[in-house]
Amino acid sequence: MSEIIIRKEGRAGRITLNRPKALNALSYEMCLETEKALDAWRHDDEVDLIVLDAEGDRAFCAGGDIADLYRSAQEQDYDYGRRFWSDEYRMNAKIAEYPKPVVAFLNGFVMGGGVGIGGHCAHRIVGESTQISMPECSIGFVPDVGGSYLLSKAPGRLGEYLGLTAARMGAGDAVHAGFADHFVPEAEWEALKARLVETGDITSLPVHAAPESPLKQTQDEIDALFSGEALIDVVNALRNSDSDFAVKSLKTIGRNAPLSMAVTIEMLHRLRMGQSDIRKALELEYRVCYRIMEHGDMIEGIRAAIIDKDRSPKWRHDLENVPAADISKMLLPLGKNALSFRERAMKIGFIGLGNMGGPMAANLAKEGHAVAGFDVAGTTAEGVASVNSAAEAAKDADVVITMLPNGEILRAVASDVIPAMSKGAVLLDCSTVDVASARAVAELCGAAELGFLDAPVSGGIGGAAGGTLTFMVGGTQTALDKAMPLFDIMGQKAVHCGEAGNGQAAKICNNMILGITMVGTCEAFALADKLGLSREAMFDVVSTSSGYSWSMNAYCPAPGVGPQSPADNDYQPGFAAELMLKDLRLSQQAAGAADADTPLGLAATELYETFVEQEDGKGRDFSAMLPRFAGRGRS
């Protein structure tokens, strides 16, 4: 039986935690599956809202699966925990920021990881059995999964009280403290879920008064006792009071990890300063996670609580003596190891490791993705595992990327890889090909329940190596969302141009303009030569007048004039004339198919055809049109 049940019902996406015997404690798998479902439904028109609930009546979710953390830390493997937390926190942020309503039904225990998945939803429903708490300080950890954010926003010093003592909140307290939104008697929950599923309409939430909040009655005392600058101030305030509440709180605090509580106070103070949001809180929490297994009390806390169950943890510090330096060490920024919210590493198949594909694949591998590459020429790329066929590269891949010479080859490769790909994976073609081939491959992918994107690039070999390409993307938003983290690595910008084929359409139109403006710029320089106007003067005028263009301003075809360009390197490409000819031919093929009148595009195509096929253009940069024009007369 699956630990989490994910399905679409009526107008809703439904996520049900399904480990009732383990009080629905959140496993790594459950975090990843939740994130996958959120990603899939983000732009799914059949899903208006998400309903999140849990099997069993004892707990919505009583925390995270900490036994695995303990086992990995025993083997000095701290990376497992870091990976788990960074994936879990990204999911927590996605829930908090989700563009569609997420309705969570928080029954029974809702602790730690349960607050992370249920406590940031837009509509948090609580009932008679609800018991919410952040108990991390009792196992030598700190309130995490964005819990520190909720604590920092709770009225007065409630955050400190709840974080340090792990006190449980019933429905009334949860609403008062900002951990829940609506009280609905649990007898009504099933009917309410059915209504949400049927209508997809969030406005049908019933309105009930929340029960009394005992915490609200105690708020003044809590504010007085828990407002100290540091843990020792709180401890002293509690010792100086003889109220039952203070005595009980002090007893609880006496059992919990001093370092954890001191760090928690510092975190809440920092989060209350200036603007904070869930990401800021998660990033702060992650600093602690990163270090606490090795340098804090967490492993000892887990041992005492759930491994040896002796309930006698030996904490590193006394309540009275947690040095400020130890607190700040836990919270120091992590530099390049900081929580990035970047998507989990993907399995990528990369087909076509030529001048462009090679460095693009290497950049993906460098960022931690598992890249399997194939090229008929046997070329490889750094960090990329070579495999023996395109189909092998595509097997089990989340995304298959192609970077191939033309549409015919793309179609042939697509017919090999599509049957090997898993449902839901995305075929991402970055080659420059004809619009018809892109659309034909998109159709094959659709029939195989795969996503497809045509995403030709601009930026050339330098952009491929430097990760600064611009992608012009055609295809669905869902496929684009999946590929976005890869575009972020390979390029600086991805522009969504609409449906499949539109990326190629944009590329072809752009490069037709480029071919035309380069020809125009070159013939104007040749004319200026013959009129006795210096190239320098011509550049100075045109680059700041209405004749300016990228061809003149950024890629000036005259050697020694304007910014550095292939003209300064004896017209070594750069962007080879034959590649420009390829793109211009694609523009004319598309114009023919669409019955578009493109006389200048046609003229540029013919000029580059002559240049490449009958003159000395092949292997030279496309701006070498300038010496061609300069050496000719009018006839």
Q: Please, which residue, 364 or 413, has the CB nearer to ligand NAD?
A: 413
Binding-site size, ligand NAD (CB under 6 A): 27
CB 266 within 8 A of CB 281: no
| Under rule CB under 6 A, residue 578 binds ligand NAD | no
| Under rule CB under 6 A, residue 554 binds ligand NAD | no
φ, ψ at 196 (rounded to 5°): -65, -45
Candidates 90-98, 287-295, 374-382, 497-505 — which segment interacts with ligand NAD by CB under 6 A?
374-382
Q: How far apart are CA 601 and CA 509, in angstroms?
A: 9
| Under rule CB under 6 A, residue 263 binds ligand NAD | no
507 labelled catalytic: yes
Angle 576-497-38 from CA coordinates, rounded to 5°: 125
Q: How far apart are CA 161 and CA 170, in angstroms?
A: 15
Nearest to 65 by CA among 98, 32, 102: 32
CB 17 within 8 A of CB 33: no
Q: Write down the residue that tokens 């094959």 correspond to.
A: 444
Binding mask 352-371 for ligand NAD (x = CB under 6 A): xxxxxx--------------
φ, ψ at 343 (rounded to 5°): -65, 155
Catalytic residue among 193, 507, 530, 618: 507
Q: Please, which residue, 305 or 509, has the CB nearer to ligand NAD?
A: 509
Phi-psi region of 360 (alpha: psi -120 to 50; beta: other; left: phi over 0): alpha
**Minimum Å distance from CB 409 to ligand NAD?**
5
| Under rule CB under 6 A, residue 491 binds ligand NAD | no
Binding mask 412-451 for ligand NAD (x = CB under 6 A): xx-----------------xx-------------------
Indicate the Cα dihedral angle 588, 417, 400, 581, nearest 10°.
-20
Q: Please, which residue, 96 or 584, has the CB nearer to ligand NAD?
A: 584
**Minimum Å distance from CB 477 to ligand NAD?**
24
Where do the DSSP E strands lie in 352-483? 370-374, 385-386, 399-402, 426-429, 451-454, 457-458, 469-475
| Under rule CB under 6 A, residue 164 binds ligand NAD | no
| Under rule CB under 6 A, residue 374 binds ligand NAD | yes
363 contacts: CB under 8 Å, gap ≥ 6:
464, 465, 467, 489, 490
Q: Please, which residue, 376 or 596, has the CB nearer to ligand NAD?
A: 376
**Minimum Å distance from CB 335 to ligand NAD?**
34
Give the residue, chosen from 134, 250, 404, 584, that forms a contact with ligand NAD under the rule CB under 6 A.
404
Q: Please, which residue, 230 or 387, has the CB nearer to ligand NAD?
A: 387
Radius of gyration of the chain (CA): 31
Indicate the Cα dihedral angle 461, 465, 470, 471, nearest 10°.
90
Give the residue, chosen from 334, 370, 409, 600, that forms a contact with ligand NAD under the rule CB under 6 A.
409
Q: Please, which residue, 325 or 377, has the CB nearer to ligand NAD?
A: 377
Question: Nearest to ligand NAD by Cβ — which residue?
Answer: 354
User: What are the residue numbers of the active site?
Assistant: 507
Binding site for ligand NAD (CB under 6 A): 351-357, 374-377, 379, 390, 403-405, 409, 412-413, 431-432, 457, 460-461, 575, 579, 582
